[in-house]
């Protein structure tokens, strides 16, 4: 069977461009792969074109828009997911501008498709007391409990994404003081986070117990499952929810419904409330733009109120105990009659 031009360029896009030129992360490759899997299903189901017969000529702005609509109607995707799928397609057709310049106008028509407006999500986080209560539920009398305590405490202390924790190896840590940990975020961007003394002591004991301090094991997963493999996103979510459920029974007001990402939000909020500059919080979280980090400043209503109160200057002249409007009986009567 002869390879179609679409298959040829899509293969080059993944194997040469994303991996070779862009150095895209595993998560990006997985997300883009899912997008094109859905696209192939759409073209087969709705456009009656099998994957082995799909050509570049089959794509235009209208087809891509129909695909995006299909995602939202048939697959019940949110605007956020739709925009993620569109970002993957935009990346491919930007690549095609340089690979197939004869159809530049066609690719640019597809690139002109706009993202949909997304609702701004509220930030779900735990208070400091909530974090303490959560960690207190983790038993330390067995090896599994000690692993889980080291895991969840590290997720909170570093503000790491779940995948960043999953990818950790013992070689990611420098255990000589000042201790620190190296994380690789989106786009394989590297950042180094200092470890506090208590976190250092906890990790040191955990690694020693599991022989992870042995140089021969420095490429093993830092946090492994029962089979020695890396924990998954679903596995970490299960562990967190188990202890969150226990804490919620004790003090439901302190433990809302949370996810592993809530620990990251919690750390950022606590740093902000402690007066840490947003620029430092941005660097710790690995955000590209300070605008992303500003969601925490917008979410913290207590800090906003306190900042406004601290900056308030009273410019209203003192008119005595009774305001002028209170002295006007006709005005008072008029106001009372408003509710009748």
CA atoms within 13 A on the CB side of 122: 8
192 plus 58 within the same structural domain: no
Task: Give yes or no: residues 106 and 196 share one domain.
Answer: no
Cβ atoms of 308 and 135 within 8 Å: the answer is: no
Q: Which long-range contacts does 177-181 make (Cβ < 8 Å, 24+ apart)? A: 181/154
Domain-located, residue 276: yes
| Helices (H) then strands (E): counts for the chain | 16, 3
* Measured distance CA(272)–CA(275) in Å, rounded: 5
- 335, part of any domain: no
Q: How confident is the model at residue 325 (pLDDT cuts 50, 70, 90)?
A: very low
Is residue 327 a part of any domain in this protein?
no
* Average pLDDT along the chain: 87
272/133 same-domain check? yes
Q: Are residues 61 and 186 in the same domain?
A: no
Is residue 286 a part of any domain in this protein? yes
Alpha-carbon separation of residue 24 from 59, 81, 89, 270 (angstroms): 25, 19, 15, 31
At residue 252, the 3 state secondary structure works out as coil
182 and 247 in a single domain? The answer is yes
pLDDT at 315: 46
- Asked whether 99 and 9 are in contact (CB, 8 A), the reply is yes
Same domain for 87 and 192: no
Residue 327 is predicted with a pLDDT of 54
% residues pLDDT > 90 (the chain): 65
Bridge partners for 192 per DSSP: 182
Are residues 148 and 243 in contact, defined by beta-carbon separation less than 8 angstroms? Answer: yes
Direct distance between the N- and C-terminal alpha carbons of the chain, in angstroms, rounded to an integer: 83
Which of 56, 53, 43, 58 lies closest to 9, judged by CA?
Answer: 56
- Name the phi and psi angles at 42, rounded to 5: -65, -45
The DSSP element (H or E) to which 27 belongs, if any, is: helix 26-45
Q: In the prediction, which pLDDT does 34 show?
A: 95
| H or E element at residue 203 | helix 197-209
Structural domains of the chain, count:
2
Residues 47 and 156 placed together within one structural domain of the fold: no
Cis ω for the linkage preceding 164 (within 30 of 0): no
In a domain, 332, yes or no: no
Give the structural domain span for 81: 5-111
Tell me the per-residue pLDDT of 45-81, one tens digit each, with 9 for 90 and over: 999 999 999 999 999 999 999 999 999 999 999 898 9
Distance CA 97, CA 287 (A): 29
The C-alpha atoms of residue 72 and residue 140 are separated, in whole angstroms, by: 46
The single-letter DSSP state of residue 52 is G
**Per-residue pLDDT, 16:** 94
- Residues 60, 154, single domain; the answer is no
Q: Is 190 inside any structural domain? A: yes
Q: Give the whole-angstrom CA distance, residue 95 versus residue 12.
A: 10
Q: How sure is the predictor about 105, in pLDDT bands with cuts at 50, 70 and 90? A: very high
pLDDT digits (tens, 9 = 90+) for 283-295: 888 887 777 777 7
Strand residue runs (E) in 109-216: 173-174, 180-184, 190-194
Residue 157, pLDDT score: 93
Give the per-residue pLDDT at 297. Answer: 67
Q: Residue 134 domain-assigned? A: yes
């Amino acid at each position: 069977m002869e390879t179609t031009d679409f298959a040829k360029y899509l293969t080059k896009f993944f194997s040469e461009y994303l991996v070779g030129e862009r150095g895209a992360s595993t998560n990006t490759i997985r997300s883009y792969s899912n997008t094109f899997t859905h696209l192939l299903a759409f073209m087969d189901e709705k456009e009656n074109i099998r994957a082995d017969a799909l050509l570049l000529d089959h794509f235009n702005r209208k087809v891509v828009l129909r695909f995006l609509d299909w995602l939202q109607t048939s697959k019940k995707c949110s605007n956020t997911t739709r925009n993620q799928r569109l970002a993957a397609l935009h990346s491919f057709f930007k690549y095609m501008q340089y690979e197939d310049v004869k159809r530049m106008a066609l690719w640019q028509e597809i690139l002109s498709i706009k993202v949909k407006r997304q609702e701004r999500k509220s930030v779900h986080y735990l208070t400091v007391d909530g974090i303490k209560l959560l960690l207190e539920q983790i038993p330390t009398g067995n090896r599994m409990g000690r692993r889980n305590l080291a895991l969840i405490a590290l997720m909170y202390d570093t503000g790491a994404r779940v995948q960043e924790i999953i990818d950790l190896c013992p070689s990611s840590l420098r255990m000589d003081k000042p201790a620190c940990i190296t994380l690789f975020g989106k786009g394989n961007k590297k950042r180094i986070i200092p470890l506090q003394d208590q976190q250092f002591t906890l990790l040191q004991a955990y690694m020693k117990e599991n022989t992870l301090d042995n140089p021969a094991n420095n490429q093993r997963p830092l946090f492994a499952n029962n089979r020695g493999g890396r924990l998954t996103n679903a596995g970490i979510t299960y562990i967190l929810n188990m202890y969150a459920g226990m804490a919620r029974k004790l003090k439901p007001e302190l433990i809302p419904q949370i996810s592993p990402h809530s620990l990251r939000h919690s750390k950022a909020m606590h740093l902000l409330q402690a007066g840490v500059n947003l620029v430092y919080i941005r660097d710790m979280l690995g955000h590209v733009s300070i605008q992303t980090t500003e969601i925490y400043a917008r979410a913290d209503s207590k800090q906003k109120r306190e900042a406004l109160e601290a900056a308030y200057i009273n410019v209203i002249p003192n008119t005595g105990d009774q305001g002028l409007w209170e002295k006007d009986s006709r005005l008072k009567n008029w106001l009372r009659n408003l509710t009748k």
